[in-house]
Amino acid sequence: MLLDFLALYRADAMARIRIIKQGMPARSVKVIAGRMSISKARLMTTLGLARATVDRKARTNMPLSTDDSARVLGMARLVGQVQEMVAESGEPDGFAAAPWVARWLQCSLPALDGRCPSVFMDPDDGQSLVSNIVARMQRGAYS
């Protein structure tokens, strides 16, 4: 299974809704974790996913629920957002967005009152907050 983070980031709202409603494949959690160079357990904890549910659905080739799909898609889109940001900077060669995002999510940020972005990745509003911080970084308005 190949996940195109950039395509998911660039997808319009209708396409994202369609993906969420049909359900992301449960095995995409393992794929994303691998691309981020983190454990599947760490990704599931960050996204607030139930390990037993994800593992059961992955074994039986079932899609994730809409809520879980939205969280997984949000992480994939965040990686795509960083890929886009670096590509627009003109220096994308050698940059691996997925592992960079995994490390950055663990950093304490003043913009989050000293908390790490990872603690905000399970609710949709938290993912929007983290995405907005990346957008501010791109504009040079990061604090």
Between vectors from CA 85 to CA 43 and to CA 72, what angle results, nearest 5°? 25
Q: Where are the domains of the chain?
A: 5-139
Q: Kindly state the DSSP code that residue 123 receives in the 8-state scheme.
A: S
Query: Per residue of the chain (143 residues), what is the pLDDT tens digit?
Result: 568 999 999 999 999 999 999 999 999 999 999 999 999 999 999 999 999 999 999 999 999 999 999 999 999 999 999 999 998 888 778 899 999 999 999 999 999 999 999 999 998 899 999 999 999 988 776 55
Q: What is the DSSP code string of 22-80?
A: H--BTTHHHHHHHHHTS-HHHHHHHHT--HHHHHHHHHTTPBPPHHHHHHHHHHHHHHH
For the stretch 127-132, contacts whose Cβ atoms lie closer than 8 Å and that sit 24 or more positions apart, written own/partner, are 127/71, 127/74, 127/75, 127/78, 130/78, 130/105, 131/74, 131/77, 131/78, 131/81
Residues 61, 111: Cα–Cα separation, whole Å: 39
Question: What pLDDT does residue 115 have?
Answer: 96
Q: What is the pLDDT of residue 103?
A: 97
| pLDDT of amino acid 142 | 54
